[in-house]
Structure 1
Amino acid sequence: MEKQKTPILTYIMLAVATSIWGSAFIAGKVAVESFEPATVAFFRFLGAAILLFPIMWVMEKNRPKPTKKDWGLFALLGLTGIAIYNICFFLASKHAPVIKSSLFIASNPVLIVLLSGLFLKETITKRHIVGMSVALFGVAIIITNGHLLDLVKLGFEPIDFILLGAVISWALYSVLGKVVLGKYSAIVSTTYAVFFGTLFLLPFALYELTWTQVQGASIGVWASLLHMSVFVTVISFIMYYQGIQKVGAAKASIFINVMPVSAVIMATLFLGETFTLAHGVGAAFVLSGVYIGTYVKAKKQKEDIQEKQVMVK
């Protein structure tokens, strides 16, 4: 019985962690009422860095000493996944509905597969391409609210390019992260990435931030920033990687798809946003495409592990 309980509890933990990620869309929507997007991102990761460094020092006492090349990779992680992604993310939080943003970003795993094939020479199968196509079709339905011909008539809205920038920057961050994780643990990689990302965001925050904004920010805004630092960035991150240790990265990655669903539900409940039929259909295509594109990869990883076990024997 004990063996059966552990996976169930781990799956619950993973579902909670990725659901918390979905709350970032709601918290971000609240925070950008008082602060500009880059400033929100700066406060979020400044708080996260203050928490992550002590955690790293305690949990990773024997961590490798970074080389100049490693510091360069950490800086790129901070630039793509922390600075650029979050500026785009919070711009979208300010100017786009949460439902649209969260479902658009749900196509991320498929793009990660594509970039992994291009830069890391991982195998891209026909089902990867099909999965990507299905997910992108879902994105098209979402951004046009079901009126696909609008893409031809009007093209993308400016905010859609911002969302696309968020998707691309996070995919680059994920691919670079795979390289860094070959030498460093997830906690060390994320801590240094957050450090560099916070540094990159600092000039924007200094330019945007005024004392009037600080004084005028409500308790709800500060609570949203604290929530994103503590729960979204630190606690859920630790929960997610504990889940990876217990069930493996392949199974854990499936739970990332809980994030947009969580965001959509919370946006409907707390922000009064309307969930249309087009959103539902688009979401179904996006999540189906992600499943098609990533499931094969997980299966291949399992086969590779079995091959290695046979070779060891």
Structure 2
Amino acid sequence: MEREGNTATTTRGIYLVLLLVPLFWGGSFGASKHVVTEIPPFTTAAIRFGIASVLLAIWLTAVRGWDWQVIRRRWIGLLVLSLTGVFAYNFFFFLGLSYTSATNGALVVAINPVFMTLIAVLFLGEAWSGRLGLGVLLSLTGVLLVITGGSWETLLNFSFNKGDLLLFGAVASWVAYGIAGKIVMRGVSPLLTTTVTTIAGTLLLAVSAWFEGGWSRVPGLSGQSIGELLYIGVFATVIAFVLWNEGVHRIGASKASAYINLVPINAMWTAALFYGESVSWAQLIGMVLVIGGVLLTSQAPQRQTVSKVNAGAAGGQPG
């Protein structure tokens, strides 16, 4: 009886601890947007994942998780994951935030699960349902409302914000990462996969940053940007990944995935509180529609395959 009580207490504890994950991810949008005002996108991403690479490598070494045979056997697949989930995702993510608000960025990226569901229906043999259809419709309507600002003229003239459109590239990259991860990660531990792909992705980002000419601007970074880089590298990447995977292990991927719906809410209030962003009625309504759509989609019984794909991703990285 005592053991059962301790287990119940531990389970309740993980529900509370998981609240930190969307908080860290949500805060990363405003922090990342500020950093890219001082150094270019590739340089920002390279530093973020450089910090994460060092910490993950230390962690993997400490638990003796390196498996060089697996790395040699799966190197092509791991490289694909690096190109899609780290390199391409962060290129579009940071470049998009250079042109749009942190709130818009969070709301666009929040539809990742919806697109994963569509891909699963189209290519992975999952069944379509009315719940899925309504969820997709609500989410896409919410995002459309956000990026048009509620203006029919903007919609008719197709003059969407450049940053919002670039963020759809991040969504596409993450969907590609999720689908590839479903194949590559069979028989490979999530920690090993994440560490290897993060290191490889960091090298690709570092080379791109050299051509971007951003490294020369790093010594002139403000104290605020240095703190923000440490935040998104340590808290929004490594610690969020650790907590996320522990949550998936304890309560399952479907329940843990529900916490992702809090990301745009946290992004909105942190951007408004710490970075002075204003919140429009279109963003508020869009947020409600996006979260409602994602909840409907994620609760559909056909979504088991998608949940497994998202759970295997590097921390479910939406920020």
TM-score when normalising by structure 1: 0.89
In the alignment, structure 1 residue 262 sits paired with structure 2 residue 266 = yes
1:65 match: secondary structure? helix
The 5 A counterparts of 1:1-313 are 1-61=5-65, 63=67, 65-66=69-70, 70-210=74-214, 212-297=216-301
Letter in 1 for 2:234: V
Higher mean C-alpha displacement, 287-296 vs 122-131: 122-131
Choose 85-94 or 174-183, whichever is displaced more.
Answer: 174-183
- Contact (CA 8 Å) 2:70, 2:188: kept in 1 or not? no
User: What's the % identity of the aligned pairs?
Assistant: 33
Deviations 1:142-170 (CA, angstroms, capped at 9, x unpaired): 01111244211234332222011011111
Residue 61 and residue 103 in structure 1: after superposition, are their counterparts in 2 closer, same or farther (change >3 A)? closer
Indicate if the aligned counterparts of 2:39 and 2:214 stay in contact, CA closer than 8 A: no
Aligned residues of 2:100 and 2:162 also touching (Cα < 8 A): no
Contact 1:13 1:240 (8 Å CA) reproduced: no
Residues 133 and 64 (structure 1), Cα distance of their counterparts in 2 relative to 1, 3 Å cut: farther
Structure 1 residues 265 and 118 mapped into 2: Cα distance closer, same or farther (>3 Å)?
Answer: same
Letter in 2 for 1:28: S
Q: Which amino acid aligns with 1:241?
A: N
Residue 211 of structure 1: CA displacement?
Answer: 5.8
For residues 102 and 251 of structure 1, what CA distance do their matches in structure 2 show? 20
Provide Cα deviations, 1:192-211, integer angstroms capped at 9, x if missing partner: 11122112212211112356
Superposition CA RMSD, Å: 2.0
User: Is the alpha carbon distance of 1:77 and 1:300 closer, same or farther for their aligned partners in structure 2, counting shifts above 3 Å?
Assistant: closer
Contact 1:44 1:228 (8 Å CA) reproduced: yes
Which has the larger displacement, 283-292 or 128-137? 128-137
Q: 1:88 Cα deviation (Å)?
A: 1.1
Deviation of 1:129 (Å): 2.6
Unaligned runs of 5+ in 1: 302-313
Aligned 8 A contact 2:60 2:66 in 1: no
- CA shift at 1:276, angstroms? 1.4
- Assess, with a 3 A threshold, how the Cα gap between structure 1 residues 60 and 286 changes in structure 2: closer, same or farther: farther
Structure 1 residues 119, 216: closer, same or farther in 2, change over 3 A? same
Secondary structure, counterpart of 2:264 in structure 1: helix
Equivalents in 2 of 1:123, 1:68: separation in Å? Answer: 36
Higher deviation after alignment, 142-151 or 101-110:
142-151
> In 1, Cα distance between the equivalents of 2:257 and 2:32?
23
Specify the alignment match of 1:311 in structure 2.
none
- For residues 59-100 of structure 1, what are the alpha-carbon distances to aligned partners after superposition, in whole Å with 9 as ceiling and x for unaligned? 353747226562111111111111111111111222211111
Change (3 A) 1:123 1:53: farther
Contact 2:149 2:283 in 1 (8 A): yes
Distance 1:79 1:211, change over 3 A: closer
> How far is the alpha carbon of 1:257 from its aligned partner?
1.1
Structure-2 change in CA distance of 1:120 and 1:68 (3 Å):
farther
Deviations 1:160-185 (CA, angstroms, capped at 9, x unpaired): 22011011111211222222332112
Summarize the Cα distance change of 1:122–1:64 in structure 2 as closer, same or farther, 3 Å threshold. Answer: farther
Alpha-carbon distance in structure 1 between the residues aligned to 2:11 and 2:302: 18
SS at match of 2:74: helix
Tell me, in whole angstroms, the C-alpha distance in 2 between the residues paired with 1:92 and 1:288.
24
**Contact 1:127–1:296 under 8 Å retained in 2:** yes
TM-score norm. by structure 2 comes to 0.88
Give yes or no for contact 2:126–2:302 (8 Å, CA) kept in 1.
Answer: no
CA distance in 2, matches of 1:50, 1:261: 30
